[in-house]
Amino acid sequence: MLFNSLHFLLFFPVVVLVYLLVPRRWRYLWLLGASYYFYMGWNPKYALLIAFSTVTTYGAGRMLDKIGQAPGEERRKLRKKKWCVFVSFLINIGILFFFKYFDFALENVNRILAILHITVVEKPFDVLLPVGISFYTFQALGYTVDVYRGEIRAEKNLLRYGLFVSFFPQLVAGPIERSKNLLTQVQELDRWELWDLQRIRDGLLLMLWGFFQKLMIADRAAIGVNAVYSQYQVFGGGEILLATLLFAFQIYCDFDAYSNIARGAAKVCGFQLMVNFRQPYFSRSVGEFWRRWHISLSTWFRDYLYIPLGGSRVSPIRHWLNLMVVFLVSGVWHGANWHFILWGGLHGAFQVIGRWKDLLLGWLGDRLSWGKPLRLPAALQVLGTFVLVDLAWLVFRVNSLGDILGILRTVWQHPGFVDPAGMQMVSMEWVLLAISLAVLVVVDVLHARGISLGRQVAGQCLLVRMFLYTAGIGVILVFGVYGAAYDTSQFLYFQF
């Protein structure tokens, strides 16, 4: 079920209304049923996968709790707990590998076999990627590690834990929640007072902003981006660079839109989900970009991979290797294709080079007796970071690794515009997109300065608020689907 579908617009009010009216002790059961219905809207069979992941990680948590409380030698108990975590990871990562990476692995094995003139392995079956499998798998495995570390006690109620894994607002594209946040809220659900009109209003406003990002920016930018990247050979470097610039805003608004709608829907139900984006294109370095972009995933890798590898508390070379490993794994997480791995490698390299740059500028500052590292102007740092990130987005967006050289060759040989009309957007659509992007920049600037547009609107009198709400909904309904080539699409991160 898509957020930007009539199905969801009918589903959500019904879920909320019943949720507000049912007895407190039944709230989590109602939300659990609604979450499974939401997920089964794509493919009912794949509900068995999320149920299996829920049961295995729930069992691992209970086993870890039991081992921790049992008498015995601590070293032996620790060894048992490690085996428990290993089995949980093996089962769930194994399922993820089968559905997401089996075809990719088989394709590369066959390439090697072909080089060696050995008969290739026939593909035994077709595997359809279950939507959101990477998100809920990481969320469930994070819970296993949290219980292992003693940061949270294992949940005894399987159905409450099931709601934590499958909570419908953030189920298929995040944020990837932590047990210390979302599971704790699930456990306290029957003690909440849900009839808070201000909270419900704030949640609906956050959802409205998400729909603006999705329909007015992401889906409209996708028209030109898809047109160029599907047949870049017929365009010039101008169209390719413009499409790459648009893709930076498409993927940001698409993913941030889902996160905002998810957070807003959860807020209407009384839940607080983590913020997933904090104006990432205002970053002054690639390292800062990853502290602002897809925060739930970057912090997951930090806590469950980077720090266990040693983090920065090791030698510089080992530290740089840790960074590369994390970002290569991040590339693999995003997709089963070599261009995703290259994209992760680029970001890892940017991080390592950024560390070298900081060391060099610090050394120069000391040599020049300035007492502090040399710094570029903030605007140049932001611009340089955006250029690097957008260059990596080109690698991310291509359909295959082989397209990268072709695209770069086209940009070099034909730097101008060849067929702007081929981007399938008329003048009015470009105007709407430009205005929407300007609104996005203004809102991000305000948020970066600690000014909440929602609170500003909420502070107005009732008449002004009603006018602004009605105008916002009207603009999205009228102009959000404007244009002959326009077609609402699913959220980009569903495929990951």
The set of catalytic residues is: 334
Q: Are the C-beta atoms of 213 and 440 separated by less than 8 Å?
A: yes
Per residue, the 3-state secondary structure of the chain, as one string, reads CCCCCHHHHHHHHHHHHHHHHCCHHHHHHHHHHHHHHHHHCCCHHHHHHHHHHHHHHHHHHHHHHHHHHCCCCHHHHHHHHHHHHHHHHHHHHHHHHHHHHHHHHHHHHHHHHHHCCCCCCCCCCCCCCCCCHHHHHHHHHHHHHHHHHCCCCCCCCHHHHHHHHHCHHHCCCCCCCCHHHHHHHHHCHHHCCCCCHHHHHHHHHHHHHHHHHHHHHHHHHHHHHHHHHHCHHHCCHHHHHHHHHHHHHHHHHHHHHHHHHHHHHHHHCCCCCCCCCCCHHHCCCHHHHHHHCCHHHHHHHHHHHHCCCCCCCCCHHHHHHHHHHHHHHHHHHHCCCHHHHHHHHHHHHHHHHHHHHHHHHHHHHHHCCCCCCCCCCHHHHHHHHHHHHHHHHHHHHCCCCHHHHHHHHHHHHCCCCCCHHHHCCCHHHHHHHHHHHHHHHHHHHHHHCCCCHHHHHHCCCHHHHHHHHHHHHHHHHHHCCCCCCCCCCCCHHHHC
Number of Cβ within a 10 Å radius of residue 493? 21
Q: Are the C-beta atoms of 121 and 109 separated by less than 8 Å?
A: yes
Q: How far is CA 176 from CA 47, 173, 206, 277, in A?
A: 18, 8, 18, 12
The tally of CA atoms less than 13 A away on the side-chain side of residue 56 is 24
Omega cis (within 30) before 280: no
d(CA 57, CA 179): 12
Q: Are the C-beta atoms of 479 and 219 separated by less than 8 Å?
A: no
Query: Which ranges constitute the DSSP H helices of 150-196?
Result: 158-166, 184-187
Q: How far is CA 327 from CA 183, 302, 321, 323, 350, in A?
A: 28, 10, 10, 6, 10
